[in-house]
With several copies, the nearest count.
Chain A
Amino acid sequence: MSKQIRQLDRVVIRFAGDSGDGMQLTGDRFTSETAQLGNDISTLPNFPAEIRAPAGTLPGVSSFQVHFADYDILTPGDAPNVLVAMNPAALKANLADLPRGADIIVNTDEFTKRNLSKVGYQVNPLDDDTLAGYAVHPVALTSMTIGALADQDVSKKDAERAKNMFALGLLSWMYSRPYESTLRFLERKFARRPELVAANVAAFRAGWNFGETTEDFAVRYEVKPAKMPPGTYRNITGNAALSLGLVAAGVRSGLPVFLGAYPITPASDILHELSKHKKFGVLTMQAEDEIAAVGAALGASYGGALGITTTSGPGVALKSETISLAVALELPLLIVDVQRAGPSTGMPTKTEQADLNLALNGRHGEAPVAVIAPKSPADCFYAALEAARIALTYRTPVILLSDNYVANGSEPWLLPDVNSLPDLRVEFATAPNGEDGSTFLPYLRDPETLARPWAIPGTPGLEHRIGGLEKADKTGDISYDPANHDFMVRTRAARIETIPVPDVEVEDPDGDARVLVLGWGSTYGPIGAACRGLRQRGLSVAQAHLRHLAPMPANLGTVLRSYDRVVIPEMNLGQLAHVIRAKYLVDAIGYNQVRGLPFTAAELETMLEEVLKNV
């Protein structure tokens, strides 16, 4: 029975279920199939804070949203077109996000009295008018899976656990996804238990066939490949891209990479990933705490490695004293902050951009560092390389501000040609640099970069001592001289201020925009999507996005002043806006939300429309 096929340009699907239901895996697989097909993709996982909250409860709901399209897209989508709800909790937790008319596929087997009451449904929402206005597809997912595996050599429990593959099969059918990679994946995953390979494959096929057969799904959809630049792609999360960027920085600099880290959500995955790459000479150390982690990284840098530490907000706070030492020592050091919602422990699995202040100013004394932020998952790769470049060239700590949204979200990444990546080679000092030809002056600077020589232990003739006390210019000896201190403080500031960074680019296709939207970090996607939306409706708006927060691009002041209005959406209470106002005396207005969630394109579009009306 062949069904009607309808073409769509984009779809947003959200898989939601209990933490134990394997929704992240299901989403991942669907994403992979979709990627194979050549759609552009953007994904957003949403984990519960608990490791495994009680089954069937609201806090236990785990979801994965994937947005795919036949054109290039910028966000994982504001609102799902399709919700797969594996239990009542998943339905309840996600319903509010669905626009009327959306498809809802529910696993009816889980809509038992007990499960319903766990989430406070007095009446089964499948029976009353809770879902009026939605296209509800009740599917007995669990029992059909068990039924399909009746003759397989697996326990009932294992059979039941394969229900996510049934769901995946069904969705893959609905959206005409190629599923070979999933079958291969299952073979790899369960390599040691062939009976599970068979069971999961059977469940997948059962789901696919169910779509093919049942009357309920009358239509099948197709989303054509997006027109994307030629090349080889993979789908990648921000944390994975960032890790690869760090490995690449090691390769391109020729330096050993040392990561000192203490686990913390959502940064731990970088530690996990890097600890797999020993064959690149990457040494990872799980330290006793964040202070030790950054200390060890600094020690490694001192010895000539690329010293890195990865953490989230609370960890950056703890590292602050040591970063201040690194400022005084003028050694390369990379601090990765994958931001999460604060203050204090806050909402550790939610996103936020509220560590910008901390990155820019969170040290005692005048202790400037460079700060940069990636704008998308794949961009994390390049941001890591850029951060390493600055750290190595200018001998300075660099803080890289990622966040939970880019870290766990994913998008297709056009793999770069390795040899085209920036050359990060550095020169260690090898000989005395004093005028007399025999003295070594550890604080004699390169006139261009203001960087001091990196003379690593083991280099004969350059023995010297450095430390956190104020140092005399050139010699580096301890100095309490007032004029020297003033000079050194200003030099350290200049060292950061004068790092050449690319000009900020403005996207203003109509060329007549009077309003500029300025963003930084992970808001790039939603802002971009909102601007597109406005433009499609004939409105002009300009977009600029800051990758470099310290120093800022040289042309930024000019850019800002050429618009009647500057709007800065941030997932904080206006931290970038504050800096922009102070530096450029531009009356930038903030649009701020601190909800632990990325902006939706729609809300930004509405907000900007309002702004446009009033200029």
Chain B
Amino acid sequence: MSEPISLKLTAKDFKSDQEVRWCPGCGDYAILAAVQGFMPELNIPRERIVFISGIGCSSRFPYYMNTYGMHSIHGRAPAIATGLSATRPDLSVWVVTGDGDALSIGGNHLIHALRRNVNLKILLFNNRIYGLTKGQYSPTSEVGKITKSTPVGSADAPFNPLSLALGAEATFVARTIDSDRKHLQSVLRAAAEHEGSAFVEIYQNCNIFNDGAFDPLKEHGIRDDYLIRLEHGQPITFGKDGQFCVVHPPGGFGLEVRETAATRPEEIVVHDANVTDPAYAFALSRLPGLDLRNTPIGVFRAVERPSYENVVRAQLDAARAEVTETPEQQLAGLLSSGDTWTIL
């Protein structure tokens, strides 16, 4: 295919006429702006883009995108999007979901979409809280979290969404953050280019019920020492002055952070998102501490595997390749197959 003509769309083309109704200051605004700003890059006509969401503050997202969109029910967006994507491979299908929507009620559909590698771009807005229902803990809230439903602290260990996705055979796994538009858009770009499910966790601030959850990753002066920006093919160093690096201690399976100065360059792990074995990305996903130190952002994993639609469409195409009759003739043939008898 030759280079397509540019549709010359702008962010404005992706703004719907609906008033945006998140709380003032909510991280969702920044994500919305970043997505709207990114969309023109896809160079896909608006009518071929669909946003499907579940329920939650984040799931209001489709209303604000001037594309096709469905605000469905709690947790079910990946399932609905799978049916759409399987029957309409010509569309660009995006799922917007929250930590509750995707990982609590919708956990099963999420992991199955990932293993199937359905061609969905799944954006999980992780604010580590239930926003819409006014502040209960979520499956990504830290242990001991005090919320309306856990007045003396929650008892259950949180999911690490990336570990879970990797355990579920995801082919594309990434993390980004609401406050860094450029990074967010770079991850969206990689997701869009991927064939199959792209799972993107976006750290998002809920300034009403979980304010500042990701502050260390955002505050000037601190964030550079906390955030690890993954770049495919590059040694993993970070810190304001690149003073930290990631190494893979011999004999171990996990990753560790060291002082760059005290480390031999060849010891520093060179990021490779394309390794087939998910063990590397899994090890990366375990790096951050509870205090958010050493939080990698960027594309953890992007490997090739045929998407679900490609496989099933190929099966359909193969079956239809032999067909020469009209559908009605085919049907007549089908109805009269097997043992028949005729009464005159």
Interface residues of A (CB under 8 A from B): 32, 35-36, 38, 50-55, 57, 59, 181, 185, 225, 228-235, 244, 247-248, 251, 254, 256, 258, 260-265, 268, 271-272, 275-281, 283-293, 295-305, 307, 314, 321-322, 325, 329, 344-345, 415-416, 418-419, 457-469, 477-478
Partner of B88 from A231, A248, A280, A304 at Cβ < 8 Å: A304
Residues of A within 8 A of B55 (CB): 345, 468
**B17-45 toward A: CB 8 Å interface, digit per residue (1/0)?**
01111111000000000000000000001
Please state if A181 and B150 are interface contacts (CB–CB under 8 Å): no
User: Is B108 in the interface zone, CB < 8 Å from A?
Assistant: yes
Given A52-B23, A268-B133, A279-B319, A228 and B343 contact (CB-CB distance below 8 Å)? yes
Please state if A292 and B79 are interface contacts (CB–CB under 8 Å): yes
Shortest beta-carbon distance, B247 to chain A, in Å? Answer: 37
**B283-325 toward A: CB 8 Å interface, digit per residue (1/0)?**
0000000000000000000000000000010011011101100
Given A265-B133, A418-B332, A465 and B71 contact (CB-CB distance below 8 Å)? yes
Please state if A271 and B149 are interface contacts (CB–CB under 8 Å): yes
The 5 lowest CB-CB distance pairs between A and B, nearest first, are: A467-B71, A299-B83, A296-B83, A295-B79, A278-B319
Residues of B within 8 A of A225 (CB): 343
Please state if A283 and B18 are interface contacts (CB–CB under 8 Å): no
Given A234-B338, A251-B331, A463 and B67 contact (CB-CB distance below 8 Å)? yes
Please state if B150 and A275 are interface contacts (CB–CB under 8 Å): yes
Please state if A299 and B312 are interface contacts (CB–CB under 8 Å): no
- Please report the C-alpha to C-alpha distance between residue A499 and residue B169 in the assembled complex, in whole angstroms: 47
Please state if B47 and A459 are interface contacts (CB–CB under 8 Å): yes
Residues of B within 8 A of A299 (CB): 52, 79-85, 87
Given A260-B83, A298-B80, A415-B335, A466 and B71 contact (CB-CB distance below 8 Å)? yes
- Please report the C-alpha to C-alpha distance between residue A581 and residue B183 in the assembled complex, in whole angstroms: 64
- Please report the C-alpha to C-alpha distance between residue A51 and residue B24 in the assembled complex, in whole angstroms: 10
- Please report the C-alpha to C-alpha distance between residue A418 and residue B343 in the assembled complex, in whole angstroms: 18
- Please report the C-alpha to C-alpha distance between residue A416 and residue B328 in the assembled complex, in whole angstroms: 12
User: Is B162 in the interface zone, CB < 8 Å from A?
Assistant: no
Please state if B105 and A231 are interface contacts (CB–CB under 8 Å): no
The interface centre, meaning the residue of B22, B133, B322 with most chain A CB atoms within 10 A of its CB, is B133
Shortest beta-carbon distance, B206 to chain A, in Å? Answer: 9
Please state if A230 and B83 are interface contacts (CB–CB under 8 Å): no
Please state if A292 and B82 are interface contacts (CB–CB under 8 Å): yes
Within B130-169, the residues touching A (CB, 8 Å) are 130-134, 136-137, 139, 148-152, 154
Given A279-B322, A291-B79, A303 and B88 contact (CB-CB distance below 8 Å)? yes
Please state if B134 and A248 are interface contacts (CB–CB under 8 Å): no
Please state if A478 and B24 are interface contacts (CB–CB under 8 Å): no
Shortest beta-carbon distance, A459 to chain B, in Å? Answer: 6
- Please report the C-alpha to C-alpha distance between residue A185 and residue B344 in the assembled complex, in whole angstroms: 25
The interface centre, meaning the residue of B55, B108, B339 with most chain A CB atoms within 10 A of its CB, is B339
Q: Which chain A residue has the least Cβ–Cβ distance from B132?
A: A51
Interface residues of B (CB under 8 A from A): 16, 18-24, 45-50, 52, 55, 57, 62-63, 65-76, 79-88, 90-91, 104-105, 107-109, 112, 130-134, 136-137, 139, 148-152, 154, 208, 312, 315-316, 318-320, 322-323, 327-332, 334-336, 338-344
Return 28 A-B CB contacts under 8 Å, by A number. A51-B22, A51-B131, A232-B340, A234-B336, A263-B136, A271-B148, A278-B152, A278-B320, A283-B86, A284-B149, A287-B79, A287-B82, A288-B112, A288-B139, A292-B108, A295-B109, A296-B80, A299-B79, A303-B84, A325-B72, A325-B76, A329-B70, A415-B336, A418-B331, A462-B47, A468-B72, A469-B71, A478-B63
Q: Which chain B residue has the least Cβ–Cβ distance from A412?
A: B341
Please state if B108 and A286 are interface contacts (CB–CB under 8 Å): no
Please state if A288 and B19 are interface contacts (CB–CB under 8 Å): no
- Please report the C-alpha to C-alpha distance between residue A289 and residue B73 in the assembled complex, in whole angstroms: 13
Q: Which chain B residue has the least Cβ–Cβ distance from A344?
A: B73
Please state if A296 and B82 are interface contacts (CB–CB under 8 Å): yes
Please state if B335 and A303 are interface contacts (CB–CB under 8 Å): no
The interface centre, meaning the residue of A277, A292, A322, A325 with most chain B CB atoms within 10 A of its CB, is A292
Please state if A305 and B23 are interface contacts (CB–CB under 8 Å): no
Please state if B50 and A457 are interface contacts (CB–CB under 8 Å): yes
- Please report the C-alpha to C-alpha distance between residue A407 and residue B342 in the assembled complex, in whole angstroms: 24
The interface centre, meaning the residue of B67, B76, B80, B336 with most chain A CB atoms within 10 A of its CB, is B80
Given A286-B150, A314-B73, A279 and B320 contact (CB-CB distance below 8 Å)? yes
Residues of B within 8 A of A419 (CB): 328
Residues of A within 8 A of B318 (CB): 278
Apart from A52-B22, A54-B24, 7 more pairs, CB < 8 Å: A53-B21, A256-B87, A271-B136, A275-B148, A288-B107, A292-B76, A463-B67
Q: Which chain A residue has the least Cβ–Cβ distance from B320?
A: A279
